[in-house]
Protein backbone atom coordinates (compact mmCIF):
# COMPACT_ATOMS: atom_id res chain seq x y z
CA UNK A 1 0.00 0.00 0.00
CA UNK A 2 1.44 3.40 -0.99
CA UNK A 3 0.86 6.75 0.62
CA UNK A 4 -1.99 7.57 -1.70
CA UNK A 5 -3.65 4.27 -0.89
CA UNK A 6 -3.35 4.99 2.83
CA UNK A 7 -5.11 8.35 2.48
CA UNK A 8 -7.89 6.65 0.49
CA UNK A 9 -8.38 3.98 3.20
CA UNK A 10 -8.59 6.67 5.88
CA UNK A 11 -11.06 8.55 3.73
CA UNK A 12 -13.13 5.39 3.14
CA UNK A 13 -13.51 4.82 6.87
CA UNK A 14 -14.46 8.44 7.21
CA UNK A 15 -17.26 8.10 4.62
CA UNK A 16 -18.46 4.87 6.21
CA UNK A 17 -18.57 6.52 9.61
CA UNK A 18 -20.55 9.47 8.29
CA UNK A 19 -23.01 7.05 6.68
CA UNK A 20 -23.52 5.19 9.94
CA UNK A 21 -24.16 8.46 11.78
CA UNK A 22 -26.63 9.49 9.09
CA UNK A 23 -28.45 6.12 9.28
CA UNK A 24 -28.58 6.41 13.06
CA UNK A 25 -30.00 9.93 12.80
CA UNK A 26 -32.57 8.96 10.18
CA UNK A 27 -33.55 5.84 12.14
CA UNK A 28 -33.91 7.86 15.33
CA UNK A 29 -35.94 10.45 13.55
CA UNK A 30 -38.20 7.77 12.09
CA UNK A 31 -38.77 6.14 15.47
CA UNK A 32 -39.48 9.53 17.01
CA UNK A 33 -42.04 10.36 14.37
CA UNK A 34 -43.58 6.88 14.79
CA UNK A 35 -43.95 7.38 18.53
CA UNK A 36 -45.47 10.81 17.88
CA UNK A 37 -47.94 9.42 15.43
CA UNK A 38 -48.93 6.76 17.99
CA UNK A 39 -49.69 9.35 20.60
CA UNK A 40 -51.29 12.02 18.43
CA UNK A 41 -52.58 10.85 15.06
CA UNK A 42 -54.01 7.46 15.96
CA UNK A 43 -56.84 8.77 18.12
CA UNK A 44 -57.60 11.23 15.34
CA UNK A 45 -57.86 8.40 12.86
CA UNK A 46 -60.07 6.39 15.20
CA UNK A 47 -62.34 9.39 15.54
CA UNK A 48 -62.59 9.67 11.80
CA UNK A 49 -63.54 6.00 11.42
CA UNK A 50 -66.12 6.34 14.19
CA UNK A 51 -67.58 9.46 12.57
CA UNK A 52 -67.78 7.73 9.20
CA UNK A 53 -69.58 4.78 10.77
CA UNK A 54 -72.21 6.93 12.44
CA UNK A 55 -72.63 9.13 9.36
CA UNK A 56 -73.00 6.36 6.78
CA UNK A 57 -75.69 4.42 8.65
CA UNK A 58 -78.60 6.88 8.30
CA UNK A 59 -77.69 7.49 4.63
CA UNK A 60 -77.97 3.78 3.88
CA UNK A 61 -81.26 3.55 5.80
CA UNK A 62 -82.80 6.47 3.90
CA UNK A 63 -81.90 4.88 0.57
CA UNK A 64 -83.71 1.63 1.34
CA UNK A 65 -86.58 2.37 3.76
CA UNK A 66 -88.03 5.70 2.51
CA UNK A 67 -90.40 6.43 5.36
CA UNK A 68 -93.91 7.57 4.40
CA UNK A 69 -95.33 10.88 5.61
CA UNK A 70 -97.87 10.36 8.38
CA UNK A 71 -100.73 12.83 7.89
CA UNK A 72 -102.43 14.85 10.63
CA UNK A 73 -105.58 15.40 8.56
CA UNK A 74 -107.49 12.54 6.84
CA UNK A 75 -105.98 11.76 3.43
CA UNK A 76 -107.80 13.10 0.38
CA UNK A 77 -106.67 10.86 -2.47
CA UNK A 78 -107.25 11.84 -6.10
CA UNK A 79 -108.25 8.63 -7.88
CA UNK A 80 -108.45 9.36 -11.60
CA UNK A 81 -111.11 7.51 -13.57
CA UNK A 82 -110.45 6.73 -17.22
CA UNK A 83 -112.01 4.13 -19.51
CA UNK A 84 -111.05 3.79 -23.17
CA UNK A 85 -108.07 5.80 -24.46
CA UNK A 86 -109.57 6.74 -27.84
CA UNK A 87 -112.24 9.09 -29.12
CA UNK A 88 -115.94 8.91 -29.97
CA UNK A 89 -117.95 9.39 -26.77
CA UNK A 90 -117.89 10.96 -23.29
CA UNK A 91 -116.21 7.90 -21.77
CA UNK A 92 -113.28 7.96 -24.18
CA UNK A 93 -110.26 10.14 -23.56
CA UNK A 94 -108.16 10.72 -26.73
CA UNK A 95 -104.63 9.35 -26.80
CA UNK A 96 -103.14 12.84 -27.16
CA UNK A 97 -105.06 14.18 -24.15
CA UNK A 98 -104.07 11.18 -22.03
CA UNK A 99 -100.41 11.72 -22.99
CA UNK A 100 -100.62 15.44 -22.07
CA UNK A 101 -102.11 14.55 -18.68
CA UNK A 102 -99.38 12.00 -18.04
CA UNK A 103 -96.77 14.59 -19.02
CA UNK A 104 -98.35 17.02 -16.55
CA UNK A 105 -98.15 14.46 -13.74
CA UNK A 106 -94.50 13.81 -14.53
CA UNK A 107 -93.53 17.46 -14.86
CA UNK A 108 -95.25 18.33 -11.59
CA UNK A 109 -93.62 15.46 -9.71
CA UNK A 110 -96.71 13.42 -8.92
CA UNK A 111 -96.21 9.88 -7.72
CA UNK A 112 -98.70 7.49 -9.31
CA UNK A 113 -99.62 4.84 -6.77
CA UNK A 114 -100.00 1.12 -7.31
CA UNK A 115 -103.07 -0.60 -5.86
CA UNK A 116 -101.03 -1.86 -2.90
CA UNK A 117 -99.63 1.63 -2.27
CA UNK A 118 -103.07 3.26 -2.55
CA UNK A 119 -104.50 0.81 0.00
CA UNK A 120 -101.58 1.47 2.32
CA UNK A 121 -102.05 5.24 1.93
CA UNK A 122 -105.77 5.10 2.68
CA UNK A 123 -105.63 2.60 5.53
CA UNK A 124 -102.59 4.06 7.33
CA UNK A 125 -103.36 7.72 6.53
CA UNK A 126 -99.89 8.26 5.13
CA UNK A 127 -98.32 9.00 1.75
CA UNK A 128 -94.91 8.27 0.21
CA UNK A 129 -94.58 11.93 -0.86
CA UNK A 130 -96.72 15.08 -0.90
CA UNK A 131 -98.14 14.80 -4.44
CA UNK A 132 -99.84 11.49 -5.17
CA UNK A 133 -102.54 10.26 -7.56
CA UNK A 134 -103.96 6.86 -8.36
CA UNK A 135 -104.72 6.35 -12.06
CA UNK A 136 -107.49 3.84 -12.80
CA UNK A 137 -108.81 2.68 -16.18
CA UNK A 138 -112.12 0.78 -16.20
CA UNK A 139 -113.17 -2.09 -18.49
CA UNK A 140 -109.67 -3.09 -19.75
CA UNK A 141 -110.03 -1.93 -23.33
CA UNK A 142 -107.39 -3.04 -25.81
CA UNK A 143 -106.52 0.61 -26.44
CA UNK A 144 -105.18 0.81 -22.88
CA UNK A 145 -102.28 -1.21 -24.30
CA UNK A 146 -101.94 0.49 -27.68
CA UNK A 147 -102.79 4.09 -26.70
CA UNK A 148 -102.28 4.24 -22.94
CA UNK A 149 -99.19 2.19 -22.12
CA UNK A 150 -96.78 4.17 -24.34
CA UNK A 151 -97.38 7.35 -22.28
CA UNK A 152 -97.08 5.44 -18.99
CA UNK A 153 -93.76 4.03 -20.18
CA UNK A 154 -92.52 7.36 -21.53
CA UNK A 155 -93.15 9.19 -18.26
CA UNK A 156 -92.47 6.19 -15.99
CA UNK A 157 -95.92 6.30 -14.39
CA UNK A 158 -98.23 3.61 -13.05
CA UNK A 159 -101.91 2.85 -13.66
CA UNK A 160 -104.43 0.29 -12.44
CA UNK A 161 -106.69 -1.44 -14.94
CA UNK A 162 -110.06 -2.73 -13.72
CA UNK A 163 -110.69 -5.86 -15.77
CA UNK A 164 -113.99 -7.53 -16.64
CA UNK A 165 -112.79 -11.13 -16.45
CA UNK A 166 -115.59 -12.51 -18.65
CA UNK A 167 -114.68 -10.11 -21.48
CA UNK A 168 -111.06 -11.11 -22.11
CA UNK A 169 -111.99 -12.94 -25.34
CA UNK A 170 -113.73 -9.86 -26.85
CA UNK A 171 -111.84 -8.18 -29.69
CA UNK A 172 -111.85 -4.69 -28.13
CA UNK A 173 -110.80 -5.87 -24.67
CA UNK A 174 -107.42 -7.00 -23.39
CA UNK A 175 -106.73 -10.71 -23.68
CA UNK A 176 -105.06 -12.58 -20.82
CA UNK A 177 -101.78 -12.64 -22.78
CA UNK A 178 -101.94 -8.87 -23.25
CA UNK A 179 -102.71 -8.34 -19.58
CA UNK A 180 -99.71 -10.47 -18.63
CA UNK A 181 -97.53 -8.51 -21.03
CA UNK A 182 -98.67 -5.21 -19.56
CA UNK A 183 -98.15 -6.41 -16.01
CA UNK A 184 -94.57 -7.43 -16.85
CA UNK A 185 -93.72 -3.80 -17.71
CA UNK A 186 -94.28 -2.84 -14.07
CA UNK A 187 -96.33 0.15 -15.29
CA UNK A 188 -99.72 -1.52 -14.80
CA UNK A 189 -101.51 -3.65 -12.22
CA UNK A 190 -104.95 -5.24 -12.43
CA UNK A 191 -108.02 -5.16 -10.20
CA UNK A 192 -111.52 -6.59 -10.49
CA UNK A 193 -114.39 -5.02 -12.43
CA UNK A 194 -116.45 -8.23 -11.92
CA UNK A 195 -117.07 -11.04 -14.43
CA UNK A 196 -119.96 -9.74 -16.55
CA UNK A 197 -120.14 -5.99 -15.83
CA UNK A 198 -123.69 -6.13 -14.47
CA UNK A 199 -125.29 -3.59 -12.13
CA UNK A 200 -124.53 -5.32 -8.84
CA UNK A 201 -127.32 -3.56 -6.92
CA UNK A 202 -129.88 -5.23 -9.21
CA UNK A 203 -128.60 -8.75 -8.53
CA UNK A 204 -129.44 -11.16 -5.70
CA UNK A 205 -126.82 -11.58 -3.00
CA UNK A 206 -125.87 -14.99 -4.43
CA UNK A 207 -125.42 -13.53 -7.93
CA UNK A 208 -123.38 -10.65 -6.58
CA UNK A 209 -121.16 -13.04 -4.69
CA UNK A 210 -120.49 -15.01 -7.87
CA UNK A 211 -119.43 -11.84 -9.71
CA UNK A 212 -117.12 -10.79 -6.89
CA UNK A 213 -115.60 -14.17 -6.03
CA UNK A 214 -115.18 -15.54 -9.55
CA UNK A 215 -113.51 -12.42 -10.95
CA UNK A 216 -111.11 -12.31 -8.01
CA UNK A 217 -110.28 -16.01 -8.37
CA UNK A 218 -109.67 -15.59 -12.11
CA UNK A 219 -107.28 -12.65 -11.58
CA UNK A 220 -105.54 -14.31 -8.63
CA UNK A 221 -104.90 -17.50 -10.61
CA UNK A 222 -104.12 -16.11 -14.06
CA UNK A 223 -102.02 -13.13 -12.99
CA UNK A 224 -100.51 -14.88 -9.98
CA UNK A 225 -101.54 -12.16 -7.52
CA UNK A 226 -103.72 -11.40 -4.53
CA UNK A 227 -106.40 -9.12 -5.98
CA UNK A 228 -107.11 -6.44 -3.41
CA UNK A 229 -109.45 -3.99 -5.10
CA UNK A 230 -112.94 -4.14 -6.62
CA UNK A 231 -114.39 -1.51 -8.93
CA UNK A 232 -118.20 -1.53 -9.22
CA UNK A 233 -119.56 -1.62 -12.79
CA UNK A 234 -121.22 1.76 -13.46
CA UNK A 235 -120.47 2.54 -9.82
CA UNK A 236 -123.59 0.59 -8.78
CA UNK A 237 -123.55 -1.09 -5.38
CA UNK A 238 -125.67 -1.47 -2.25
CA UNK A 239 -125.05 -2.40 1.39
CA UNK A 240 -125.05 -6.11 0.44
CA UNK A 241 -122.33 -5.43 -2.15
CA UNK A 242 -120.16 -3.71 0.45
CA UNK A 243 -120.55 -6.63 2.86
CA UNK A 244 -119.84 -9.22 0.15
CA UNK A 245 -116.81 -7.31 -1.14
CA UNK A 246 -115.25 -7.49 2.30
CA UNK A 247 -116.23 -11.15 2.70
CA UNK A 248 -114.70 -12.01 -0.68
CA UNK A 249 -111.30 -10.68 0.35
CA UNK A 250 -111.20 -7.21 -1.22
CA UNK A 251 -109.56 -4.49 0.88
CA UNK A 252 -111.33 -1.57 -0.80
CA UNK A 253 -113.86 -0.84 -3.56
CA UNK A 254 -114.28 2.10 -5.95
CA UNK A 255 -117.44 3.85 -7.11
CA UNK A 256 -118.08 6.50 -9.78
CA UNK A 257 -119.13 9.12 -7.21
CA UNK A 258 -117.31 12.36 -7.92
CA UNK A 259 -114.64 13.61 -5.54
CA UNK A 260 -111.44 12.80 -3.69
CA UNK A 261 -111.40 9.45 -1.92
CA UNK A 262 -111.37 9.59 1.88
CA UNK A 263 -111.82 6.84 4.42
CA UNK A 264 -114.89 8.67 5.77
CA UNK A 265 -116.71 7.39 2.67
CA UNK A 266 -116.00 3.81 3.78
CA UNK A 267 -113.54 1.17 2.51
CA UNK A 268 -116.10 -0.06 -0.04
CA UNK A 269 -117.48 3.26 -1.22
CA UNK A 270 -114.56 5.37 -2.47
CA UNK A 271 -115.06 8.35 -4.80
CA UNK A 272 -113.09 9.11 -7.95
CA UNK A 273 -112.38 11.98 -10.32
CA UNK A 274 -113.79 11.51 -13.82
CA UNK A 275 -111.48 12.61 -16.60
CA UNK A 276 -113.59 13.72 -19.56
CA UNK A 277 -112.64 14.18 -23.22
CA UNK A 278 -111.78 17.76 -24.18
CA UNK A 279 -110.76 18.64 -20.62
CA UNK A 280 -107.89 21.15 -20.75
CA UNK A 281 -104.66 20.45 -18.89
CA UNK A 282 -105.43 23.48 -16.67
CA UNK A 283 -108.80 21.97 -15.69
CA UNK A 284 -107.12 18.62 -15.13
CA UNK A 285 -104.53 20.31 -12.88
CA UNK A 286 -107.25 22.06 -10.84
CA UNK A 287 -109.29 18.88 -10.54
CA UNK A 288 -106.51 16.79 -9.01
CA UNK A 289 -104.91 19.53 -6.87
CA UNK A 290 -105.19 18.89 -3.13
CA UNK A 291 -102.95 19.63 -0.16
CA UNK A 292 -102.55 16.79 2.31
CA UNK A 293 -100.96 17.63 5.66
Report the length, in residues, of the chain. 293
Report d(CA 234, CA 197) in Å as an integer. 8
Q: Which of residues 220-249 bind Zn ion (CB under 5 A)?
A: 233
Residue from the set 139, 143, 189, 211 that interacts with Zn ion by CB under 5 A: 139
Of 27-35, 36-44, 130-138, 282-290, the segment contacting Zn ion by CB under 5 A is 130-138
Q: How many beta carbons lie within 10 A of that of residue 245, not counting itself?
A: 26
Q: Which is nearer to Zn ion, 198 or 213 (CB)?
A: 198
CB of 238 to Zn ion, least distance (A): 17
CB of 94 to Zn ion, least distance (A): 19
Q: Which is nearer to Zn ion, 139 or 189 (CB)?
A: 139
Q: Which is nearer to Zn ion, 139 or 143 (CB)?
A: 139
CB of 230 to Zn ion, least distance (A): 12
Report d(CA 220, CA 237) in Å as an integer. 23
Residue from the set 101, 117, 138, 211 that interacts with Zn ion by CB under 5 A: 138
Please give the biggest Cα pair distance in the chain: 132
Of 26-34, 44-52, 137-145, 268-276, the segment contacting Zn ion by CB under 5 A is 137-145
Nearest to 245 by CA among 166, 192, 197: 192
Q: Which is nearer to Zn ion, 227 or 292 (CB)?
A: 227
Quick check: 44 and 38 in contact, CB under 8 A? no
CB of 243 to Zn ion, least distance (A): 22
Residues that bind Zn ion (rule: CB under 5 A) add up to a total of: 3
Q: How many beta carbons lie within 10 A of that of residue 62, not counting itself?
A: 10
CB of 271 to Zn ion, least distance (A): 16
CB of 236 to Zn ion, least distance (A): 10
Helix (H) or strand (E) holding 64: helix 41-65
Query: Shortest Cβ contact with Zn ion: which residue?
Result: 138
Report d(CA 201, CA 237) in Å as an integer. 5
82-114 as b/e: b if 16+ CB within 10 A: bbbbbeeeebbbbbebbbbbbebbeeeebbbbb
Report d(CA 118, CA 75) in Å as an integer. 11
Of 69-77, 135-143, 175-183, 285-293, the segment contacting Zn ion by CB under 5 A is 135-143
CB of 129 to Zn ion, least distance (A): 30
Q: Which of residues 1-20 bind Zn ion (CB under 5 A)?
A: none
Of 136-144, 183-191, 259-267, 277-285, the segment contacting Zn ion by CB under 5 A is 136-144
Of 115-123, 138-146, 148-156, 275-283, the segment contacting Zn ion by CB under 5 A is 138-146
CB of 264 to Zn ion, least distance (A): 25
Beta partners for 77? 261
> Contact between 211 and Zn ion (CB under 5 A)?
no
Q: How many beta carbons lie within 10 A of that of residue 67, not counting itself?
A: 9
195-219 as b/e: b if 16+ CB within 10 A: bbbbebeebeeeebbbbbbbbbbbb
Q: Burial-class residue 49 by CB neighbours within 10 Å (0-12, 13-18, 19+).
A: exposed
* Chain contacts with Zn ion (rule: CB under 5 A): 138-139, 233
Amino acid sequence: MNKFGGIMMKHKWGILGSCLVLIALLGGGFLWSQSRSHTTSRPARQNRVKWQATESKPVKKAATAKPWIKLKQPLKLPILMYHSISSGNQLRVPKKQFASEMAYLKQHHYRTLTTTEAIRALTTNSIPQKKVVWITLDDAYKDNLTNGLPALKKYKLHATINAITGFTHKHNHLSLAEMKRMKTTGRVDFASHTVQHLNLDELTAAQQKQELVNSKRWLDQHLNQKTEMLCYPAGRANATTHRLAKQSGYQIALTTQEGFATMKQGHYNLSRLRITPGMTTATFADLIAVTNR
